[in-house]
Structure 1
Amino acid sequence: MAVKKKMAILFLVDLVIIWFSICSAYFFRFEGPAPEQYTNQMFLYCAISSVLCGLSMAYFGMYRKMWQYASVSEMFSMCVAVTIGWGLSFLATTIVSDFRVPLSIAVRTLETSLLLVGGIRVIWRVIRLRQGKGVDQRIPTLIYGAGDCGSLVAREFKGQSMDDHKLVGFIDDAQNKHNLTMHGLPVLGGRTDLPTLVEVFKVKEIIIALPSVPRSQVSEIINLCMACGVKIKIIPGINDLIKGRISVSAIRNVDVEDLLGRDPVHTDLQGIADYVHNKVVLITGAGGSIGSELCRQVASFAPDKLLLLGHGENSIYTIEMELKHKFPGMLFEPIIADIQDRRRMEEVFDAYRPQVVFHAAAHKHVPLMEKNPAEAVKNNVFGTQNVADCADKFGTERFVLVSSDKAVNPTSVMGATKRIAEMYVQSLNASSRTKYASVRFGNVLGSRGSVIPAFKAQIARGGPVTVTDPQMVRYFMTIPEAVQLVIQAGAISQGGEIFILDMGEPVQILKLAEDLIRLSGYEPYIDIPIHFTGIREGEKLFEELLTAEEGATKTHHERIYIGKPEVISREDLARELNKLNRVIAGGADDVKEAIEQLVPLYEQVS
């Protein structure tokens, strides 16, 4: 049935209610049929009320609302519309009629109209909801956390937008809250009771409302919930609670990042502002995963101008448009350039004179670089050399190289080229006024070409999910977290350091795949198979963040360490780089052999 037809029927029902309300009021007033002189007034009252009440209800949108989703505000509007229509009709009838409408009839008419007009809409709403659900098909839901946040979530769930959920209660680890009630819902127990509660109440979904609890504890709770086979959602953070943004839209699905259990990075805002604020900042690889996040975070410190340099025009255009929307008053300069082009790099540095450089442009895909070692050398080694030399030549104050844990005891071409880039930057620092530093960290979640997007795509296709080796482990960090620490490292650099970020505990790739399958609503090995493909060329089971020679010393930042600088002869390094440059045009084996001469720790894995 069309919506317009339904509204027309509702309008006719309202007219019948108005006539019935008036006629019944006269009937009860005179305890039977109205006297002849009042009968004419009654019909006049009905006709005037049909027009004026109908207009009033139409004006207040009573025939544009979806009454199956009506809330208190809609019912209040209905009462106002009926009352105004009744008042106007009473006055108009009294004026037109030979004598005044008895007040008792008018009051009874209003009472009956409000009762029936509202009642019809409530009945409609109940019928439509029952038709939609039949048997109670709402999702039995538990809220984990009986605090302020949990209270706000429960209040939100009582709104119409969450009609498909049925709250069964709260769960909280504070024993003094057990057996209490909040919003009419019981606090059913703590985490040890979780499996029993899920089974007894047939819980299908748990919402974690613990925004101020350390993320390590949240990670434990997520694992407990996953073990119960329920869908998990979460309130993102304490800021949402403070700013009053707890709403249905703030509740999101749990993602892999939540399982890392890593607490937020504490940033020295003043230190960062001192070297970025009001400066010309160049970010290479600005369209990439790390580069684009560097752009976002650096922009928040209000540089004088932000230079977005990249090789791909689409990615640079995308980040430029995003930044212009978020920071409308800031100056951005998109630059399409290849870091391998020395002359072009000199043009850029000469034109803009950047005071701070974050060098994030690199080839990073390990198996691809094994097959294309010359390209890895051109970009990661000589591209870095070009940018670093220009920083020295044109008086850049600080240069930060974004490196990788794969540069430690490298077994891949990619890792070895990143190690050479570190060596070159360290050697340049000894004779330059520019402060050079490298920042080394492991894998970042969600970056292009990383394991998480690959797993998600495989799960979306129905599997199988492919894992190279059941024993493989990697360090993981979120992109915003890594970038925040990169910028922080630049603030504390005195020149020549290799900074190592605290990556937390290494994560087993197999467990990561299993967790991601469960978070997607499937059971690993049953719904989604996992296949082992074997270690790829250039990969190793375990990554390291330091060589044995480097050691590590603490900085004043708890998440950043400094590797002991190595003594690197610039003359020897230049000689070896010249040899490497001469063999680039040769075969892959020649390039790999030259890399091995330059990086003593490089061990090719067959």
Structure 2
Amino acid sequence: MALDTFLALVSMWLAFTLRLDTLHWPMGAEWVAYAVAPALAIPIFLQLGLYKAIFRYTGVASILATGRAVALYGVALCPLVWLLFHWEGIPRSLIVLQPLLFLIFVASSRALGWQWIASRTRVRGKPLLIYGAGIAGAQTAAALSGTHDYALVGFIDDDNQKVGRTINGVKVYAYAELANVATHHRVTDILLAVPSATRQRRNQIIERLQSLPVRIRSLPGLADLASGRVTVDDFLDLDLDDLLGREPVTSRPDFLAGALAGRVVMVTGAGGSIGGELCRQIARQTPSTLLLVDHSEYSLYKIHHELEQWALGGGSSMTLVPVLCNVCNLQRLESIYEAYHPQVIYHAAAYKHVPMVESNPGEAVINNVQGTLNLARAALKWGVDSFVLVSTDKAVRPTNVMGATKRIAEQILQSLANCENNPFNEEIPGLSRSDMMTRFSMVRFGNVLGSSGSVVPLFRAQIASGGPVTVTDPEVTRYFMTIPEAVQLVLYAGAMARSGDLFVLDMGAPVRIVDLAKRMITLSGRTVRDQFRPTGDISIAFTGLRAGEKRFEELLIGQNPIPTEHPRIILAREEFVEWPTCSQCVQRLLEAARSGERDAIVNALRTLVPGYIARPAAARPDTLPEQPKAALRDTELSPCSLTNRS
């Protein structure tokens, strides 16, 4: 207020001086004009709230408000000056000249003050460059203007028309200047503000930036930027597609047209990584009812709450049913089938963590084998249209119990799909193959990035804590795909499947785990410490292959896979055991699993999975306590049929 009072007097003096063309000293009635200026301006500024704003956060908005206040001041000054015309020496041109000068002084004082505060704020944060001087880059810069976390030192852009220009006073540099700018300003982070760029373009940019010792981060979508919802916390580490460095799976909604809409769909393992994403993508296909089946109460609560909120926000009329159930409990499954009559089943419930399963083979057999058998049996009894098993590449020539149990689960469905008559004839007498409407199919794929057992969350946590990053073996390679990609292809395969089909997903080229670790370290702005760079930030430690782990994974057992309508889905033709033999072997396997006899479990696994190679007993550091024979035995197999021994 004191400054504005002073500026009102200065602008009045300058207006007199310019109008009279000589340095002015007020005399007589001219003193009245000097008194009127601040006495009129300050109340108007108070009334319009110019002194209530928190100045450091107003900026341009404050200058615009000042313009409106001074305009009102000029309008109010006009009649007062006319009243002063009767006094000698008060020129009429003051009505226009003094408010204009006053506006220039007041607006300049606000602009200089805001710029001074902003410049002090910038030096406190981490030096940041924004790659992309388009709409997203400008909006991001505006979001950063009020924060202490980052100091924006410039934009990087490949458009020559933008290079050398400024955005809100921040210079746009060419890519050729990036290394010098980053070194001079000690830049710690580069933010990718190119949300509309193609995956190929993003990969090119990331490859170019990878040589710099900076952390590369990404933005959310343009819609969030435009809505003002973006904060510094929303600047993300590079997503999983960036880590893979390849084009993601192209969406083909025509493959799902009518396959799920208006139907009753059941997902087992709904609270898991794959099961949860299955539920999300299925929900978008507008089923009439979605049954979420899981034996973990907390996992089931999370996915049910998430989908419930999504349905409320989108106005979906879908019915969501959370079902606490262990797939080993046949009676519970049959009660679910009888109550809701599911038409499509996606079976994702399984024990999948290789070392954990290796330590507890009996539980893995009961869950992965008997659970699949129970679901298939109930599906045949209640006339389910489609049954899709989510399988794994570890089922191919397995060296671990998890892979062997998943291969047996595949064979159970293959055998049932190939039966001439219903093998469960005590339940549905006289059912022939032509009456068996359930289409059993399987979808096999490799590792997914971002799942609960994925290396990516582990590596990120290890990098954040300063390392080391642990890799089992320098030669270990894996096929990788993101969870949404894999689930999308599972849904496509299920929609096109015929009974007995075993699909394999084309996951691109395999990735060395150590290369993935190095890429994540580099993209986080750190350097790898090794024999060539002993002063690097983070080392990579090799811990040795875990129980049952392979160096290389495969996706096919047989040869001559058949292409399908979708370029990323392959139809495999693989041998399997016919049902009578399969039922006998599975019977022995379940008996061994319930007794906890490891050698008996291994022998039974070898009978059904000839390619299975178990670890030597001497190499096992763990022992498995025996389980009582009465545990978890809802069903057992007779040589040609299932009988209930509960």
> The TM-score by the shorter chain falls in which range?
0.7 to 0.9
1:459 pairs with 451, 460, 463, which one?
463
Aligned to 1:543: 553
Q: Cα deviations across residues 320-364 of structure 1 (Å, max 9, x unaligned)?
A: 121122222232111111111111001111111011111111100
- 8 Å CA contact 2:82–2:92 kept in 1: the answer is no
User: How far does residue 582 in structure 1 lie from its aligned partner after superposition?
Assistant: 1.4
Structure with a larger share of its residues in helix: 1
Aligned to 1:301: 285
User: How far does residue 531 in structure 1 lie from its aligned partner after superposition?
Assistant: 1.2
In structure 2, relative to structure 1, the CA distance for the partners of 1:361 and 1:76 (3 Å cut) is: same
Q: What is the SS of the residue equivalent to 1:278? A: coil
- 8 Å CA contact 2:73–2:99 kept in 1: the answer is no
Aligned to 1:121: 110
Aligned to 1:52: 44
- Structure 2: how far apart are the matches of 1:342 and 1:484? 29
2:385 pairs with 387, 391, 397, which one?
397
Aligned to 1:581: 590
- 8 Å CA contact 2:394–2:554 kept in 1: the answer is yes
2:144 pairs with 161, 173, 180, which one?
161
1:17 aligns with 2:7: yes
Q: How does 1:40-189 map to 2 (within 5 A)?
A: 40=32, 42-44=34-36, 46-56=38-48, 58=49, 61-67=50-56, 69-91=57-79, 103-133=92-122, 139=127, 141=129, 143=131, 150-156=133-139, 159=142, 161=144, 164-167=151-154, 169-171=156-158, 188=174
- Structure 2: how far apart are the matches of 1:130 and 1:488? 54
Q: How does 1:95-494 map to 2 (within 5 A)?
A: 103-133=92-122, 139=127, 141=129, 143=131, 150-156=133-139, 159=142, 161=144, 164-167=151-154, 169-171=156-158, 188=174, 205-208=189-192, 215-216=199-200, 218-234=202-218, 240=222, 252-328=236-312, 329=316, 330-430=318-418, 431=433, 432-494=436-498
1:564 pairs with 562, 567, 573, which one?
573
Q: State the one-letter code of the partner of 1:151.
A: G
User: How far does residue 517 in structure 1 lie from its aligned partner after superposition?
Assistant: 1.6
- 8 Å CA contact 1:142–1:203 kept in 2: the answer is no
Aligned to 2:561: 552
- Structure 1: how far apart are the matches of 2:302 and 2:83? 69
Unaligned runs of 5+ in 2: 419-432, 530-535, 617-646
User: How far does residue 272 in structure 1 lie from its aligned partner after superposition?
Assistant: 0.8
Q: Cα deviations across residues 4-37 of structure 1 (Å, max 9, x unaligned)?
A: xxxxxxx332233334444654676676454534
In structure 2, relative to structure 1, the CA distance for the partners of 1:220 and 1:53 (3 Å cut) is: closer
- 8 Å CA contact 2:136–2:194 kept in 1: the answer is no
- Structure 2: how far apart are the matches of 1:461 and 1:555? 45
Q: What is the SS of the residue equivalent to 1:449? A: coil
Aligned to 1:503: 507
Q: Cα deviations across residues 489-523 of structure 1 (Å, max 9, x unaligned)?
A: 01110111110001111111111111112222221
Query: Which moves more between the two structures, 260-269 or 428-437?
Result: 260-269
- Structure 1: how far apart are the matches of 2:126 and 2:456? 32
- 8 Å CA contact 2:74–2:99 kept in 1: the answer is yes
Q: What is the SS of the residue equivalent to 2:257? A: helix
- 8 Å CA contact 2:445–2:555 kept in 1: the answer is yes
- Structure 1: how far apart are the matches of 2:566 and 2:227? 31
- Structure 2: how far apart are the matches of 1:45 and 1:93? 10
Please, what TM-score do these two structures have when normalized by structure 2? Answer: 0.81
- 8 Å CA contact 1:280–1:305 kept in 2: the answer is yes
User: How far does residue 128 in structure 1 lie from its aligned partner after superposition?
Assistant: 2.1
- 8 Å CA contact 1:427–1:568 kept in 2: the answer is yes
- 8 Å CA contact 1:157–1:165 kept in 2: the answer is no
User: How far does residue 421 in structure 1 lie from its aligned partner after superposition?
Assistant: 0.6
Aligned to 1:515: 519
Q: What is the SS of the residue equivalent to 1:81? A: helix
Q: What is the SS of the residue equivalent to 1:164? A: strand
- Structure 1: how far apart are the matches of 2:38 and 2:440? 88
- 8 Å CA contact 1:283–1:291 kept in 2: the answer is yes
Q: What is the SS of the residue equivalent to 1:577? A: helix
- Structure 2: how far apart are the matches of 1:132 and 1:196? 24
- 8 Å CA contact 2:130–2:137 kept in 1: the answer is no
- 8 Å CA contact 2:393–2:554 kept in 1: the answer is yes
1:596 aligns with 2:588: no
User: How far does residue 466 in structure 1 lie from its aligned partner after superposition?
Assistant: 1.2
- Structure 2: how far apart are the matches of 1:519 and 1:41? 66
Q: State the one-letter code of the partner of 2:408.
A: I
Q: State the one-letter code of the partner of 2:144.
A: S
1:39 aligns with 2:27: no
User: How far does residue 154 in structure 1 lie from its aligned partner after superposition?
Assistant: 4.7
Q: State the one-letter code of the partner of 2:93.
A: S
In structure 2, relative to structure 1, the CA distance for the partners of 1:567 and 1:594 (3 Å cut) is: closer
- Structure 2: how far apart are the matches of 1:201 and 1:461? 26
Aligned to 2:543: 533
- Structure 1: how far apart are the matches of 2:329 and 2:585? 21
User: How far does residue 449 in structure 1 lie from its aligned partner after superposition?
Assistant: 1.9
- Structure 2: how far apart are the matches of 1:327 and 1:522? 42
Q: State the one-letter code of the partner of 2:585.
A: E
- Structure 1: how far apart are the matches of 2:258 and 2:285? 9
- Structure 2: how far apart are the matches of 1:424 and 1:403? 13
Q: What is the SS of the residue equivalent to 2:249? A: coil
Q: Cα deviations across residues 433-476 of structure 1 (Å, max 9, x unaligned)?
A: 11111100000001002211112222222222111111111111
- 8 Å CA contact 1:52–1:88 kept in 2: the answer is no
User: How far does residue 40 in structure 1 lie from its aligned partner after superposition?
Assistant: 4.3
Q: Alignment identity in percent?
A: 36
- Structure 2: how far apart are the matches of 1:122 and 1:293? 51
Query: Which moves more between the two structures, 252-261 or 98-107?
Result: 98-107
Q: What is the SS of the residue equivalent to 1:275? A: coil
Q: State the one-letter code of the partner of 2:474.
A: P
Query: Which moves more between the two structures, 494-503 or 248-257?
Result: 248-257
In structure 2, relative to structure 1, the CA distance for the partners of 1:579 and 1:508 (3 Å cut) is: same
- 8 Å CA contact 2:471–2:542 kept in 1: the answer is yes
In structure 2, relative to structure 1, the CA distance for the partners of 1:194 and 1:603 (3 Å cut) is: farther
Q: RMSD over aligned Cα, in angstroms?
A: 3.4
- Structure 1: how far apart are the matches of 2:5 and 2:254? 70
Please, what TM-score do these two structures have when normalized by structure 1? Answer: 0.85
Q: What is the SS of the residue equivalent to 2:553? A: coil
User: How far does residue 102 in structure 1 lie from its aligned partner after superposition?
Assistant: 5.5
Query: Which moves more between the two structures, 385-394 or 565-574?
Result: 565-574
- Structure 1: how far apart are the matches of 2:33 and 2:185? 61
- 8 Å CA contact 1:464–1:531 kept in 2: the answer is yes
